[in-house]
């Protein structure tokens, strides 16, 4: 089979000296002080995070995949057994992207696409929360990125109508992987704050009944004066999200964001978000906190979703599907189960496409290779 994006960043001479001292589960504390590094000097003084210069553990989920998984010192990015950082494909698997999903654009862009994405299996869970209450399993994906949310919704039987994204490389990845699900003319590249772009997005919903509008608009401006502050341009994207929902009138909206949004301005920011949707006629549920590893993602990642509907509908906090404490549930998916079957490569290897013999050692392998459905994967994980 062909394996895409299985490439790993290289090391400097100094980094090679560091790597050989870091065992599985180790970090910067294992690097001898004799190795000269001004950054390590600063970390030792300040008592830096234990994930810095970290090596993953095979038998546990990974730490959060960030946009810097290609860098040795920026997190726990070392392969558990091989002296290299995670490959793009391995990071994508830890995010739960199927193996046939191909990332386009520059290497730097791919790191950002993978690290910024919503894990498809987490998006699948989100879609399952609202699916029983919908009349139309159609959705529009705003701020789509590479397409993690769309992947999860499509996996759960939803029909993609359209999507929008401003970043060209992200858009090329999205378009390449999702043209089989919707008319590519309905994939809109551009700034949603532009009236023309926003109208193009709205036009894709004409003569269609839209079940859901999903998206994760940046909400940094909420940390200061709130979304109503006309002087904070960072809030404009959120305003456009609300405007699109108001105009299209989907049955549901789903707003996905980082967990930190709940503590912005001591909770006042979330209240303003809920009020903004209430003002346009939506019944908004209490924010739902999600741990990705609870739902089959082999990664510790914390997110929050805010769900609203035109008809009053209670969406409860979902019950975990996986656990390392509840004996009635299958254990969390581990790094080894997720990437252990991928062929070994060298640091700096940049062969983008590989013809490989890759075994299906675990149910997660089979899910990523699209040999089984999520339901089959879950059932086999319980065995």
- Give the catalytic positions in this structure: 219
Write the secondary structure of the chain as one string of H (helix), E (strand) and C (coil).
CEEECCCCCCCCHHHHHHHCCCCCCCCHHHCCCCCCCHHHHHHHHHCCCCCCCEECCCCCCECCCCCCCCCHHHCEEECCCCCCECCHHHHHHHCCCCCCCCCCCCHHHHHHHHHHCCCHHHHHHHHHHHHHHCCCCEEEEECCCCCHHHHHHHHCCCEEEEEEECCHHHHHHHHHHHCCCCCHHHEEECCCCCHHHHHHHHHCCCCCCCCEEEECCCCHHHHCCCCCCCCCHHHHHHHHHHHHHHHHCCCEEEEEEEHHHHHHHHHHHHHHHHHHHHCCCCEECCCEEEEHHHHCCCECCEEEEEEEECCCCCCCCCCCCCCCCCCCCCCCCCHHHHHCCCCCCCCCCCCCEEECCCCCCCHHHHHHCCCCCHHHHHHHHCC
C-alpha atoms less than 13 angstroms from C-alpha of 330 in its C-beta half-sphere = 19
Which of these, 148, 157, 151, lies nearest to 128 by C-alpha position? 157
Residues 6+ apart with CB under 8 A from 101: 92, 147, 151, 177
- Cβ atoms 85, 79 nearer than 8 A: yes
Query: What's the angle, vertex CA 1, arms to CA 63 and CA 339, rounded to 5?
Result: 15
């Amino acid at each position: 089979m062909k394996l895409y994006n299985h490439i790993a960043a290289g090391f400097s001479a100094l980094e090679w000296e560091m790597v050989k001292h870091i065992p599985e589960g180790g970090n910067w504390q294992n690097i001898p002080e004799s190795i000269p590094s001004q950054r390590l000097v600063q970390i030792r003084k300040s008592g830096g995070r234990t994930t810095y210069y970290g090596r993953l553990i095979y038998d546990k989920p990974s730490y959060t995949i960030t946009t810097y998984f290609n860098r040795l010192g920026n997190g726990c990015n070392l392969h558990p057994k091989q002296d290299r950082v995670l490959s793009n494909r391995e990071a994508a698997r830890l995010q739960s992207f199927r193996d046939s999903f191909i990332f386009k654009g520059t290497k730097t862009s791919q790191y950002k696409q993978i690290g910024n994405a919503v894990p498809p299996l987490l998006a699948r869970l989100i879609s399952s929360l609202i699916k029983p209450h919908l009349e139309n399993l159609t959705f529009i994906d705003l701020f789509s990125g590479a397409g993690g949310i769309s992947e999860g919704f499509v996996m759960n039987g939803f029909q993609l109508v359209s999507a929008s994204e401003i970043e060209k490389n992200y858009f090329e990845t999205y378009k390449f992987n999702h043209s089989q699900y919707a008319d590519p003319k309905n994939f809109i590249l551009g700034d949603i704050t532009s009236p023309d772009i926003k109208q193009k997005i709205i036009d894709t919903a004409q003569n269609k009944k839209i079940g859901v509008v999903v998206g994760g608009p940046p909400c940094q401006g909420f940390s200061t004066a709130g979304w109503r502050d006309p002087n904070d341009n960072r809030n404009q994207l959120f305003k456009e999200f609300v405007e699109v929902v108001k105009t299209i009138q989907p049955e549901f909206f789903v707003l996905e964001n980082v967990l930190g949004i709940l503590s912005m301005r001591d909770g006042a920011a979330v209240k303003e978000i809920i009020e903004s949707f209430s003002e346009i006629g939506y019944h908004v549920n209490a924010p739902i906190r999600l741990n990705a590893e609870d739902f089959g993602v082999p990664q510790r990642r914390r997110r929050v979703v805010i769900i609203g509907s035109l008809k009053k509908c209670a969406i409860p906090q979902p019950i975990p599907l996986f656990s390392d404490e509840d004996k009635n549930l299958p254990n969390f998916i581990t790094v080894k189960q997720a990437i252990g079957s991928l062929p070994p490569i060298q640091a700096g290897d940049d062969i983008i496409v590989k013809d490989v013999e890759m075994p299906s050692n675990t149910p997660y392998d089979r899910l990523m290779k699209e040999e089984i459905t999520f339901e089959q994967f879950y059932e086999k994980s319980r065995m």
